Chain A
Amino acid sequence: MANVQLTVNGKAVSADVEDRTLLVQLLRDHLGLTGTHVGCDTSQCGACIVHIDGRAVKSCTTLVGQVDGANITTIEGISKGDELHPMQAAFRDNHGLQCGYCTPGMIMSAIDIVNRYGADLDEDTVRHELEGNICRCTGYHNIVKSVLDAASRMKLSIAAE
């Protein structure tokens, strides 16, 4: 057992967990944050992606012990109250989701992509960058559209601030 202290969606969390506990298990089983999903067992699908200190990481392959002291953001932590994050709004407006299972991971991954590329984002880059996120429903067409749409929305909102 180990004690870890971290920040999850802005709240301080202290947990005593078995050494083998994965971050996704901490989030889902201990903290009840079930928006982060598990879609595979080989770190391939991206359904589990969260932000660790602002970077997209697969929480199914991260031991809780590795993130002691880190700042974690999950899908539940990106909207401001009722106001959706521009990426969330773009997924809804462009029909970027069907069953919704891959969606939290897609959104967390996509925010990181836009953060890294900013205005330089084009379709090829989005497709290449989403390589680690599998969706079985949408054929990616509307996911790509959503990410490109959000990129321009996020640029606007940064400009406005």
Chain B
Amino acid sequence: MGVEGIGASVVRKEDRRFITGRGRYVDDIKVMGMTHAYFVRSPHAHAKITSIDVEAAKAMPGVVDVLTGQQIVDDKVGNLICGWAVHSKDGSAMKMGAWPAMAPETVRFVGQAVAVVIAETRNLARDAAEAVEVHYEELPSAHHIAMAIAPGAPQLHPEAPGNIVYDWSIGEEKAVDEAFAKAANVVTFELVNNRLVPNAMEPRAALAEYNEAEEHFTLHTTSQNPHVARLVLSAFYNIAPEHKLRVVAPDVGGGFGSKIFIYPEEMVALWASKKVRRPVKWTGDRNEAFLTDAHGRDHISKAEMAFDADNKILGLRVKTHANFGAYMSLFSSSVPTYLYATLLSGQYNIPAIYAEVIGVYTNTTPVDAYRGAGRPEACYLLERLMETAARQLKVDPAELRRKNFITSFPHQTPVIMAYDIGDFGASLDAALKAIDYAGFPARREKAKSEGKLRGLGFSCYIEACGIAPSKAVGSLGAGVGLWESAEVRVNPVGTIEVLTGSHSHGQGHETTFAQLVAGRLGIPISQVSIVHGDTDKVQFGMGTYGSRSAAVGMSAIFKAMEKVEKKAKKIAAHQLEASEDDIVIENGEFKVTGTDKSIALPMVALAAYTAHNLPDGMEPGLKEGAFYDPTNFTFPAGSYICEIEVDKGTGKSTIIKFVAVDDFGRLINPMIVDGQVHGGLAQGIGQAILEQAIYDDTGQLVTASFMDYAMPRADDVPSFEISHTTTLCPGNPLGVKGCGEAGAIGASAAVINAITDAIGNNKLDMPATPDRVWHAMQAPLQQAAE
């Protein structure tokens, strides 16, 4: 392992460029002859475009061209696709409306692009965009699930009657009916999972260049998966064949899912760069990010849980309506189905589960994966249900959970997932200890004497990560495989380049991936560099999302390393006149065990490339590649406990302490793992008490700036208390599970359970703003007075 190998909290290699202002994000890049794009967007939630007049804009200073939706359709640029086919319970295919990159006829959400101005500077493009005259005939619109499914609701797409994309189900309805028939107690609950805006701090951007002589495009873009972007842009949008399109995702300022998808803006930039024969750069502003980055969550659910007389769970029934917005984004269909309902068993032994999910079109921004993607919604529903059950059944919430924990593995749930390993009791115990559960009643009393309400809330989450076994997801409708690739190149002087299909946009792969390689060879991480994010350099790969880069991406590197080491050992054995089986690798040297004979890595590498003295028949060079396809998902799990204090006068909640105990399997770099948890927790807490995308009666997004959408700030969150329990994942060679989403998945239920515990009213939806909490607080007080 060594001081910089797996398990060491080494500081990050990539940090120096960021802390000195030398990061290189898309908008930092300038090329000769570059023009700037600014989009004209719909001010209406639903309208017919009756005319577009671009002449005045074209005459403005510095304007190169103004292009419209009709032109992009005429040029046969493909409509945006949804890459996961989900079928309704009657077997019918999901019902998708067409989504052109710029609207030629009808706009279906505020912010949808209808035209683009290309000009010499961004300011001039923006000025000219004001002069594009678009006339609309407004249509009635539906911006909430309830409005969209009401009888007589405005229709968004002729393809989807009643605005229903699909009516999907999982599990056995009959088994669940039987479970409820013999239940001693039934707990029911209705809840809303609030709509969120991902808000990576770097707005999306694209720089497209067309090289006429080579008929070749280059796209620099803010992407979590540049190869997938290239595949989709070439195979479906007819921009260019793959070998004529290079996609580069340089430094990317956060993603959280929102930069997985291929958006209209990069399609338009590419298409326009060929039309105007000059490079085209588009950089979104924050308002555009709010209006056009795929939003997250937005569910309305009803859930019922059946218990026997001993408080063991017999069955779970869930019905969820999921809002997809106005169009089906790239992976949207999978989020409320295979990433949500398959996790409804949580950490519990539930013999029967039946879940129905109805996907609904509304006149809002498209909704897709946001940190956790489906799994936070599952955890929030289940953990609020468990807390409600504990209160209703008058049992300790920790004990109710413990009683129902899955304790033997592997465990097949009734909803596809087969959990490979875990120890849920261990993380709950550790969390109870960290929060000092026994001391809570005294703390609550003390707070009461000071006029404050104190509450404690639990959340025991599980997630499916390491996405994903290709064959399994293929059988569920995925349009792609979800393996990962790696190539390890040992240079003739012994330094190493690792080319990975994973993409880092804050996760620190340049450090953690180097730790794996350096640790195996016993060399410093400074000798290893990680290359990612450029389709011209790196072999095809699937990118980073779903906490997959350690479990899948690093496993591919592991496999490639095994091949490299095998060949290197052969060379070393040949050079040292020893048997290959006697060679061990230590501190950067290949040693013959039991002797003092050794040869250093650079000499082995040099021998491989000079090829003067290699074993007979061996090819020169030292470079190996591998593709790794996981055999199962991984299942990170943990227990979170939040202690909260509510001010009786204002309804303001203050987090006193937040304890997180996670089982991520083996930790590569504990410092980075903790950082991932911190960030996830802040997003989960943000969802619980601050964040919500709100549409008004006319379909305007009224929370479309940081003045209106409450992002968590430094004084909204506490310092966190984090620890780990460990069961090694048996499914991959490193024993890792993934840590990127856990915080965002587990935190919100813990916070809301704590607030409802404090105020003694379970009727509370996220975000639990002071106003909402204050009103919820009055209800039990009134009841007491009556």
Contacts and interface: CB of A to CB of B under 8 A. Distances in A.
B509 to A, nearest CB: 11
Nearest to B507: A98
B16 A92 contact: yes
Interface stretch (B182-190, B200-208, B300-308, B527-535): B200-208
A42 B705 contact: yes
Given A33-B21, A41-B285, A92 B505 contact: no
Contacts of B19: 75, 84, 88, 91-92, 97, 100, 103-104, 107
B758 interface: no
A138 interface: yes
Interface string A37-65: 11111101101000000000000000000
Given A92-B12, A137-B254, A140-B682, A98 B675 contact: yes
Interface in B664-684: 671-672, 674-683
Given A34-B21, A76-B21, A84-B20, A131 B715 contact: yes
Given A42-B286, A47-B201, A140-B714, A98 B706 contact: no
Interface string B690-713: 000000000000000111000111
A44 B705 CA distance: 9
A99 interface: yes
Contacts of A134: 201, 706, 711, 713
A45 to B, nearest CB: 6
B720 interface: yes
Residues of B contacting A: mostly = loop
Nearest to A131: B713
Given A40-B286, A100-B23, A139-B682, A144 B719 contact: yes
Contact of B714 (A20, A45, A133, A136): A133
A95 B12 contact: yes
Contacts of B17: 100
Contacts of A107: 19
B33 to A, nearest CB: 15
A99 B706 contact: no
B508 interface: yes
Interface in B170-228: 199-203
Interface in B227-267: 251-254, 256
Contacts of B711: 134, 136
Nearest to A34: B28
Interface residues of A, number: 55
A126 to B, nearest CB: 7
A93 interface: yes
Contact of B706 (A45, A141, A144): A45
A11 interface: no
Given A35-B22, A75-B20, A84-B20, A101 B201 contact: yes
Nearest to A21: B123
A146 to B, nearest CB: 10
A45 B201 contact: yes
A16 interface: no
B506 interface: yes
Interface string B450-474: 0000000000000000000000000
Nearest to A141: B678
A18 B18 contact: no
Interface in A126-151: 126-128, 130-131, 133-144
A147 B680 CA distance: 21
A18 B506 contact: no
A35 B675 contact: no
A14 interface: no
A136 B707 contact: no
A130 B720 CA distance: 18
B254 A140 contact: no
B203 A104 contact: no
A103 B16 CA distance: 11
Given A41-B285, A44-B705, A97-B19, A139 B201 contact: no
B362 to A, nearest CB: 26
Interface in B282-329: 285-287
By size class, the interface of chain B is: 35 or more
A32 B30 CA distance: 9
B15 interface: yes
A79 B12 CA distance: 18
B706 A40 contact: yes
A95 B14 CA distance: 11
Contacts of B707: 42, 44
Given A42-B707, A91-B19, A127-B715, A102 B675 contact: no
Contacts of A39: 201-203, 286
Contact of A101 (B202, B675, B677, B712): B202
Contacts of A42: 286, 705-707
A122 interface: no
B687 to A, nearest CB: 13
Contacts of A37: 25, 201-202, 253
B279 interface: no
Nearest to A39: B201
A100 B253 contact: yes
A12 B678 CA distance: 42
Interface string B549-588: 0000000000000000000000000000000000000000
A96 B73 CA distance: 46
B20 A99 contact: no
Interface centre among B200, B256, B674, B679 (most CB of A within 10 A): B679
B720 A139 contact: yes
Nearest to B747: A139
B505 A128 contact: no
B252 A99 contact: yes
A123 interface: yes
B21 A139 contact: no
Given A98-B675, A99-B253, A141 B287 contact: no
Given A20-B123, A35-B23, A98-B675, A41 B717 contact: no
Nearest to B682: A139
14 contacts: A18-B123, A34-B27, A36-B21, A38-B27, A93-B11, A98-B506, A99-B202, A99-B252, A100-B506, A127-B714, A135-B714, A136-B683, A140-B682, A140-B717
In the A-B complex, the 10 residue pairs with the closest CB atoms? A35-B21, A100-B18, A101-B253, A99-B506, A139-B682, A139-B678, A75-B21, A98-B506, A44-B706, A34-B28
Given A18-B123, A40-B286, A140-B712, 17 more contacts: A37-B201, A75-B21, A76-B20, A84-B20, A92-B12, A92-B15, A95-B674, A98-B676, A99-B506, A101-B23, A101-B201, A136-B679, A139-B681, A139-B682, A141-B678, A141-B717, A144-B714
